[in-house]
Structure 1
């Protein structure tokens, strides 16, 4: 699988996602609203001529200190705010390939994400899980392990 990651940076704090609305996603609400975060950007993931995934990154992103046992992450951190595989590309390993491509592309960064009902996915990547004292009422945090 050969993926091409295309960055879309906003010129202002109200960046509207530049994605093709004809590509079907389960969470359309994630992609049809403007972002108010001036430090966020979108990544469109293509395989050939087809869009297969979308990502929103937040630089550097925020860590909730209430999650139990979270290590100190400095300015090298980079948050995967949202990631979703297109409906037609699900079950083909695209999600894993996208995260691995982001890890490679941002090798000088430490990636992390709050799981939106995808705990098994983040765990399958070998990322470290950190739970909140309130349990499942607060999304668990997953952090990319330190590279050796």
Structure 2
């Protein structure tokens, strides 16, 4: 099943299967890309990417980039998970930012981020009270 990526100004409200409190536009929203994913005309996923973000903490064995693009939100619609659509969507996101390292903090999705090939990094201070960090390094930066 092929999905397509579309850049949008905002997300429609009231679509069942999405966490609605996640998808409102934020103040300073010009610093974000709002991406939606479709199968045909059906919206099946959403992603919010901050153009430039920095890591405040140090992480074990992470070669720090000057700046990253941060996936602040990513969701496949509840009734479409476990179909492989998340993997396809993330591949499209990576393709949207080919020369940029990407990161995300996992919201109870560690298995997913590992499965799609993103690398988990632990904090150097050993503080495990934070969400896990997952990074995709751009091919040009490897």
TM range (shorter): 0.7 to 0.9
2:62: which partner in 1? 70
Is contact 1:19–1:44 with CA below 8 Å preserved after alignment? no
Runs (4+) of structure 1 exceeding 3 A deviation are: 66-69
2:35: which partner in 1? 43
Instruction: Please give the secondary structure, in 2, of the residue aligned with 1:6.
Output: strand
Q: Equivalents in 2 of 1:142, 1:2: separation in Å?
A: 25
Q: Equivalents in 2 of 1:95, 1:86: separation in Å?
A: 10
Structure 2: segments with no counterpart, 5+ residues: none
Query: By how many angstroms is 1:146 displaced?
Result: 4.7
Is contact 1:23–1:51 with CA below 8 Å preserved after alignment? no
Q: Indicate which of 122, 126, 138 corresponds to 2:113.
A: 122
Structure 1: segments with no counterpart, 5+ residues: 10-16
Q: Equivalents in 2 of 1:108, 1:53: separation in Å?
A: 23
Provide, for residues 30-75 of structure 1, a one-character-per-residue CA deviation record: whole Å limited to 9, x for no partner.
12x3312330121111110100000000011221323333321124
Is contact 2:100–2:137 with CA below 8 Å preserved after alignment? no
Q: Does structure 1 residue 56 correspond to structure 2 residue 48?
A: yes
Q: Equivalents in 2 of 1:52, 1:112: separation in Å?
A: 22
